[in-house]
């Protein structure tokens, strides 16, 4: 047997063996499932917030269709109103008293004074100073209403003291009753009365306070002399030695 034949036989034997052997193919490996990656969101641009004025401008600039309806003017006939008659007020003229009051008038005057002081004037119309009560402006004005007193300004003067450079305001008034009885009241208010030794200043001094306090003092004095037997009013008290607060 030559070498060629021998090789052929060996080849056939190998092929036979291969056919007898069952060829087992390996199972393919399962690939792991792919994880779902969320898609990236595109960043959205925020709209700039508009201010109130910008919104109002936009609303103002918007065109609005307006339906114009022509309407005839309505004629309104108003009833005729008769003009009210002009009211006239009697002005009380000052006349000096020619005759003395009778006893009955004097008695009625005293009774009226006691009634107003005890029944109309109350505790809020008084101040207490050095254990004494003094009636304030509010109390004296109640006497004006009760007795129908009229007040007339005669003179008001503001001047500077040539000796100590103090500023003064003097007021002179006249108070009179309907029967013609009258009396004058005179008072002065000085700038130096506003000085506060406690606070070392002029307190509530103003030109207005200077004049009005002088006026109040003069009116209170006239009313007191006319119906109140000359009582001293609260505004006439000088308390500048303590705290400078002598305004009521």
For the chain, give every domain's residue range. Answer: 103-236
Residue 71 pLDDT: 55
| Statement: residue 79 has pLDDT above 60 | no
Identify the pLDDT of residue 147: 93
Is residue 212's pLDDT more than 90?
Answer: yes
Which strands, in side-by-side order, build the sheet including 182-190?
150-160, 167-176, 182-190
**What's the rounded Cα separation, in Å, for the pair 214 and 157?**
10
Q: Of the given ranges (1-10, 99-108, 118-127), which has the lowest mean pLDDT?
A: 1-10
What global pTM score does this model have? 0.56
d(CA 54, CA 51): 5
Which residues lie below 8 Å from residue 196, measured CB to CB, with a gap of 6+?
202, 203, 240, 243, 244, 245
Q: How many other C-beta atoms lie within 10 A of the C-beta of residue 70?
A: 4
Topology (CATH level 3) of domain 103-236: Enolase-like; domain 1 (3.30.390)
Does 146 have pLDDT greater than 90? yes
Paired with 152 in beta bridges are: 174
Q: What is the pLDDT of residue 211?
A: 94
Through-space distance between the first and last CA atoms of the chain, rounded to whole angstroms: 159
């Amino acid at each position: 047997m030559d070498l060629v034949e021998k090789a052929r036989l060996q080849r056939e034997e190998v092929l036979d063996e291969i056919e007898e052997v069952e060829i087992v193919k390996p199972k393919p490996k399962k690939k792991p499932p792919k994880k779902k990656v969320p898609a990236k969101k595109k960043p959205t641009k925020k709209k700039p917030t508009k201010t109130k004025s910008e919104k109002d401008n936009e609303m103002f600039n918007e065109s609005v269709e307006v339906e114009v309806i022509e309407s005839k003017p309505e004629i309104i006939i108003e009833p005729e109103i008769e003009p009210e008659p002009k009211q006239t007020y009697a002005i009380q003229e000052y006349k000096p008293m020619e005759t003395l009051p009778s006893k009955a008038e004097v008695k009625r005057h005293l009774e009226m004074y006691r009634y107003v002081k005890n029944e109309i004037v109350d505790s809020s119309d008084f101040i207490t100073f050095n254990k004494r009560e003094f009636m304030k402006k509010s109390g004296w004005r109640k006497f004006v209403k009760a007795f129908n007193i009229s007040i007339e300004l005669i003179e008001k003067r503001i001047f500077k003291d040539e000796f100590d450079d103090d500023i003064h305001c003097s007021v002179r008034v006249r108070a009179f009753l309907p029967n013609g009885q009258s009396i004058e009241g005179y008072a002065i208010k000085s700038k130096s009365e506003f000085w506060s030794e406690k606070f070392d200043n002029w307190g509530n001094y103003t030109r207005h306070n200077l004049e009005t306090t002088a006026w109040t003092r003069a009116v209170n004095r006239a009313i007191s002399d006319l119906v109140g037997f000359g009582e001293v009013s609260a505004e006439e008290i000088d308390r500048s030695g303590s705290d400078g607060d002598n305004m009521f």
